[in-house]
Amino acid sequence: MTHSLHRRGDYESLKDDFVVLGCPATGVNKPGSAPKTQNFLSICYKHGPINLGDMKTGNIYNTTMDDILASVTDGTIVQCTFDNRDKIVALLTELKERRPGISVIISGVTDVVQQCMHEAGLGPIHSLEYSLGTWGKTERLPGYAVLKLLTMCGHAMIATDLVGKMVRDIKRGRRTIRSCVVEMAQCCTCGNFNLTRGEKIFQEVLSTYMVDSLY
Amino acid sequence: MKADKDKCIACKRCFPYCPMGRIQTFHRHAEIPGRVYIEIDQDKCTDCSMCVRANICPVNALYQPVEEWPREIRGILSNPLIEFKGSQVPGRGTEEMKTNDVKGTFLPGEVGVGVELGRPGLGSYFKDVEIVAMALMGANIGYQLAEENPVTHFMADKTTGKIRDDVLGEKATSAIIEGKCKLEKLPQALKALQEAADKVDTVFTVEVITKVTPDGEVPIKAVLEESGFWYSINSKNNLGLGLPSFKFYDD
């Protein structure tokens, strides 16, 4: 499961984009993990994520925080998305003090994550996963700016045509950028979509993206 | 996914929500004069249910029928809400490095190599998954497949990466091949994947996993740089907070 790894963008675009996951380990600490995961979620919520959810229940743009918390069972993997480096440092500082017991993972710019860990008094990263990019028939993919939006949903549930339709709707004055990124966040069930980053990318897309024909 | 032809009014509202693109066609209803409905291309649809979850259909015409083997694997891999019972993880993959601090899945000297086909927005047929899996297994690098991964379960021969014949025509929004090999074999693994990239009719993302040393050294970094492979500035990082901690080193 690599749904937060392959986000596309340059340093400026990614430096304030963090996905924090809480994951119990099957066969080790999964039995009885529900209260630990709920505790982890509550800590994360306190630090003001821009998005939060779990894959099976949905995120805070689909349902409520209470529902997400109540739906946590042993083995639930939860994710919280942050748009601010300072919040991550504060979160890690608290997680260091109140160690939740389940594994904690952060997807983000490697150097920034490592700096945040040092500032929070944590040591080096334990294990790391790099993306080596997209290979194969890449000419079939949409443009880079659209890809930056699409790859914020690691399960690829945001459709290229949806971005096209939203661009057209905004240009015709039917919708706001905010309502579009909220809808994208709803499509991305897990809660990985960073709405703050999404709004910035949408501004770029609006000025460059032409809708030739859509149905 | 299907659209009930007796309910559908061909309003097209569901079209932009399909991650696979425009896979619908229009048809005239034989019994209701003037009524046009849509049909969803069953070969191209991956049963991800995004169109249903979007809750956009004004007449509730979209539905997911109960599918039999082998088609049922489309939903298992493509709908993030469905859990594959083999991995006990919702979605397409495993816990991989997410629980490495507790399980010790990737030890020092080992590297996890994952390949995710089809994402974003293209999808992948299993015949392409097979090309990549057989390239990795055929590289003779001792690539160990992750047992609990769904794609591993769909293999007829886990020593060659051959996928079951009845699954080859199925399609998923994305499918992940996961496994590991020794660090020194990483360049060979990536070379095999480069060759496979020219043969598939889709895209795939490549990811590599390593245990970081207590000094903060990332062992795969030097290997990637020496071999000339690009890696992204962003990564997924296990913080090592899980309990009980796996003992990686004697001291």
Residue B8 lies in a domain: yes
**Are B102 and A111 within 8 A, CB to CB?**
no
Tell me how far the alpha carbon of residue A132 is from its chain's centroid: 19
Residue B233 lies in a domain: no
C-beta of residue A155 within 8 angstroms of C-beta of residue B205? no
Residue B232 lies in a domain: no
Same domain, B47 and B161: no
Same domain, B87 and B184: yes
Same domain, B106 and B223: yes
The candidate with the shortest Cα–Cα distance to B37, out of B11, B16, B14, B56, is: B11
Please give chain A's pLDDT, 215 residues, in tens: 457 899 999 999 999 999 999 999 999 999 999 999 999 999 999 999 999 999 889 999 999 999 999 999 999 999 999 999 999 999 999 999 999 999 999 999 999 999 999 999 999 999 999 999 999 999 999 999 999 999 999 999 999 999 999 999 999 999 999 999 999 999 999 999 999 999 999 998 888 777 666 66
Residue B240 lies in a domain: no
Task: Calculate how close chain B gets to A24, using CA atoms only, in Å.
Answer: 7
Q: Which ipTM value was assigned to this complex?
A: 0.96
Same domain, B93 and B212: yes
**Are B100 and A126 within 8 A, CB to CB?**
yes
Same domain, B159 and B123: yes
Same domain, B22 and B139: no
Residue B77 lies in a domain: no
Of A104, A110, A160, the CB nearest to B234: A110
The CATH number given to whatever domain includes residue B122 is 3.30.70.260
**Are A215 and B206 within 8 A, CB to CB?**
no
A195 touches chain B (CB under 8 A): no
**Are A164 and B120 within 8 A, CB to CB?**
no
For residue B81, give Cα distances in angstroms to A18, A204, B84, B120: 23, 32, 10, 18
Same domain, B46 and B97: no
Of B119, B206, B218, the CB nearest to A133: B206
User: Can you list the domains of chain A with their CATH numbers?
Assistant: 11-119 (3.30.70), 139-208 (no CATH)
Same domain, B56 and B174: no
The number of folded domains in chain B is: 2
Where are any strands of DSSP class E within B127-211? 144-145, 155-157, 162-163, 171-172, 175-182, 203-211
A161 touches chain B (CB under 8 A): yes
Residue A115 with chain B: CB contacts under 8 Å: none
Structural domain containing residue B189? 83-227
pTM of the model: 0.95
**Are B91 and A102 within 8 A, CB to CB?**
no
